[in-house]
A and B are shown apart, each in its own frame.
Chain A
């Protein structure tokens, strides 16, 4: 079945550091891939998405590229800010499915 594996946290970085959160997936067909972010006390919200191979999703300085050859969708940001502290979820939606499969989440903390 479909599944998502993301790096375990917590991840702690200093402000302006480079961020990578790894995500790999297992799926049949051509899934859509997502990164969701959850700020403290809030629900999840879509950060970015990519719907086909080699697509790059981007938003708020974050980027992720859909790599079919490595079944990966790693999240990157060149210079993190304290306000980026949150939990990040990698997720996929199968090509014939309605529901989204979420990873376990990675907690990110940014030190001033």
Chain B
């Protein structure tokens, strides 16, 4: 398997623009997680899905953030409008049991 696939790997945008991050989980995995990593705050869980249904979105920082999982092989994390403080590395991870498999991350820079 190719592992968890994320795109784009790098994104540079200007404040106020919409940003969409994409994730393809490992085939057959029924859980999908979105994380954000910064030097100041470390690794934060934003939201996770089970069988395409959002289970816990308590980590989503504010209404500017939204996530969808329209099918078992695709998820998006959208930020609208983006702000400089959203600059971070965003990871997607998937799991079938207790082990999570992380993608390579998307490094987002908001100018």
Binding site for B on A (CB under 8 A): 32, 34, 41-46, 49, 51, 89, 93, 98-100, 102, 104-105
Binding site for A on B (CB under 8 A): 4, 31, 33, 42-43, 45, 48, 50, 55-56, 91, 93, 98-105
**Inter-chain contact total with CB atoms closer than 8 Å:** 43
Chain A residue nearest in CB terms to B43: A102
Residues of B within 8 A of A98 (CB): 31, 48, 50, 55
Give, as a whole number of angstroms, the nearest-CB distance from A1 to chain B: 12
Q: B33 contacts A89, CB within 8 Å?
A: no
Instruction: In the A-B complex, list the 3 residue pairs whose CB atoms are closest, starting with the nearest.
Output: A43-B102, A44-B102, A104-B42
Known: A34-B98, A49-B98; 9 extra A-B contacts, CB below 8 A, are A41-B104, A44-B91, A44-B93, A44-B102, A46-B101, A98-B48, A99-B48, A104-B42, A105-B43
Chain A residue nearest in CB terms to B56: A99
